[in-house]
Amino acid sequence: MKNNVKITRIKNSMTQEQLARQVGVTRQTIGLIEKGEYNPSLQLCINLAKSLNKTLDELFWEVDTQ
């Protein structure tokens, strides 16, 4: 799943470890989400959005550029 978690996290000056602690997962899970190799649950998506002060759409909505 393509997403904007990494870009947003970096703009918020957060490490993967800091974000992981805020949302209750491991740093490895955050890394996999950022690479699009792990599909987070809806609850985890909501927690990420709240921690990063973004909407779900801003973090996870794929824009069709064709």
The CATH code of the domain that includes 35 is 1.10.260.40
Alpha-helical runs (H) found in 1-55: 5-11, 16-23, 27-35, 42-51
Owning domain of residue 16:
5-53
Per-residue pLDDT tens, the chain, 66 aa: give them.
Answer: 789 999 999 999 999 999 999 999 999 999 999 999 999 999 999 999 999 999 999 999 876 555
Asked if 32 and 44 touch (Cβ cutoff 8 Å), the reply is no
Does residue 66 lie within any of the structural domains? no
How far is residue 1's CA from residue 21's CA, in Å, rounded to a whole number?
Answer: 22
How far is residue 55's CA from residue 66's CA, in Å, rounded to a whole number?
Answer: 24
Give the number of domains in the chain: 1
Does residue 65 lie within any of the structural domains? no
